[in-house]
Amino acid sequence: MLAILAPGQGAQREGFLSPWLSLAGVSEQLAELSDAAGIDLIAAGTTMSDAEITDTAIAQPLIVAASLMSAGQLQNLPRATVFAGHSVGEFAASALAGVLTPRDAVSLVATRGTAMAQASASPLGGMTAILGGDAGEVAAAIEAAGAYVANHNAKGQVVAAGTAESLERLAAAPPAGARLRPLAVAGAFHTDLMAPARAAIATAARNVTASDPVAGVVSNADGALVSSGTEMLDRLVAQVCAAVRWDLCMQTLGSIGVTATIELAPAGTLTALIRRELPDVTALALRTPEDLEGAAALIDEHGAELTDIGLPWQLLVAPARGTVSLVDATDGPLAAGDVVVRVTTHTEDLEVRAERAGHLVEWLVQDGDPVNAGQPLARVSAEVFA
């Protein structure tokens, strides 16, 4: 079975779109998506410098448009193809799965990029990759510094985010046995510091109609396969303040029988993670049109149909940093939409609901525990998504 992967911010590089413009229809498609974004994406991907396209407001729509464009060059994708994207790449994956139109996806991402850039201006923040170290000690060091866990990319690969001061404290007291690498982003993405951006995206999302996916689409929140378009759109809005669980996305790809992945342009980062975490999966990075021949061969070879792409459980995660309150009425059956746990932040009470009918399998926190955005709270048995 085949999975198509869409990369996140940081994958872009100067001039990466240039070789694609020789293909029929690409310039026209990018011009249309430029109109949706309000940005000249062709110029961004061909003549702008690396420094210019590091700007969040430009990088995000550019990456999503490039992924959609390169996906359009893939022929005869099997019906059971699964889609997944990292962070902003989840918008491209959602469009390819039929939840959003390409124009709506790029338009929303343009709003997202601008709003995140504005939210990053005050307080100044950033992100730091933490490679290696004990997982518990890494989490404790991040919390002690006053930062957040923003990405769980893979085993031994965590990204912390926070204010410049919190990241300085983390650098001064790093977890034992870990290497810290500051990332070239100008904001504390996927943390509560992005709350103003989440509000802006939520407003824009109200003007978008989401359709139920026609293919499997994997969520960054918990690695779940989402079957509701409305739910997927809600997750896209929430993810700007929630940790990216790419580790769980890869677990899902492995558990449902994915045998090959194709990472869309600008490709490379996710392919490296797949090769490390799922060594039995054939992984191809679609960097230039020269890679299309290899992609076509993979499509032919790994087009097995999927009869059951469900997980036996759903993982409920915290939508924001706060304090947990467990709901009493969880001993019996849960209906879709039942409140399982509440998270109280400094400003609001947030309800975490069962996405589908099932039973509580286990608590992963205790009543009154402090939690970070994206932290697992409970497992609930889930109906199969087919």
- What residue spans define the domains of the chain? 2-118+193-301, 125-188, 313-381
- pLDDT band (50, 70, 90) for residue 309: very low
What pLDDT shows up at residue 386? 33
Q: What is the distance between the alpha carbons of residues 91 and 85, in angstroms, rounded to a whole number?
A: 7
More confident residue, 348 or 84: 84
Per-residue pLDDT band for 384 (boundaries 50, 70, 90) equals: very low
Exposure class string for 139-176: b at 16+ Cβ within 10 A, else e: bebbbebebbbbbbbbebbbbbbbbeebbebbeeebbe
Average pLDDT over residues 371-382: 74
pLDDT band at 313 (very low <50, low <70, confident <90, very high): low
First to last CA, the chain: 15
CATH class of the 125-188 domain in this structure? alpha beta
Mean pLDDT of 156-176: 95
Pairing of strands 339-344, 376-381: unpaired
For the domain made up of 313-381, the CATH class stated in words is mainly beta
pLDDT of residue 330: 57
User: How confident is residue 328, by pLDDT bands cut at 50, 70 and 90?
Assistant: low
* Unique residue bearing structure tokens 């413009």: 21
Q: Which long-range contacts (CB under 8 A, 24 or more apart) does 336-339 make?
A: none
Q: Which of 165-174, 189-198, 314-323 has the lowest mean pLDDT?
A: 314-323
Task: Please give the model's pTM, rounded to 2 decimal places.
Answer: 0.80
pLDDT at 179: 95
Which positions ≥6 away from 308 have C-beta within 8 Å? Answer: 256, 384, 386
Residue 21 has pLDDT above 50, yes or no: yes
The reply to whether domains 125-188 and 313-381 share a CATH topology is: no
CA dihedral of residues 196, 55, 234, 66 (deg, nearest 10): 170
Q: Compare 136 and 357 and report the one with higher pLDDT.
A: 136
Mean model confidence pLDDT for the chain: 90
Across the range 144-163, mean pLDDT stands at 94
- Report the alpha-carbon distance of residue 213 to residue 265 in Å, rounded: 22
Catalytic (active-site) positions: 87, 190
Q: Over 50: is that where the pLDDT of 69 sits?
A: yes
Choice among 112-126, 193-207, 220-234, 352-366 with the minimum mean pLDDT = 352-366
Q: What is the CATH code for 2-118+193-301?
A: 3.40.366.10
Of all helices (H) and strands (E), which one includes residue 128? strand 125-132
pLDDT above 90 as % of the chain? 72
Local confidence band at 245 (pLDDT 50, 70, 90 cut-offs): very high
Average pLDDT over residues 209-220: 94
Q: Which residue has the higher pLDDT, 385 or 1?
A: 1
Helices (H) and strands (E) in the chain, counts: 13, 16
Interior CA angle at 154 toward 148 and 157, to 5°?
Answer: 55
Q: Please state, in angstroms and rounded to a whole number, the distance separating the CA atoms of residues 65 and 33.
A: 7
* Helix ranges restricted to H, 2-149: 26-37, 41-46, 50-53, 56-71, 89-96, 102-119, 135-145
Q: Which three-class secondary structure state does DSSP give residue 253?
A: helix
**Residue 355 pLDDT exceeds 50:** yes
- The pLDDT assigned to 333 comes to 81
Pairwise CA distance, residues 386 & 384, whole Å: 6
CA gap 294, 171 in Å, rounded: 42
pLDDT score recorded for residue 306: 43
Structure confidence at residue 385 as a pLDDT band (50, 70, 90)? very low
Output the CA–CA distances (angstroms, integers) from residue 271 to 12, 14, 102, 284, 286, in the order listed. Answer: 15, 20, 23, 7, 10
CA 167 to chain centre: 22
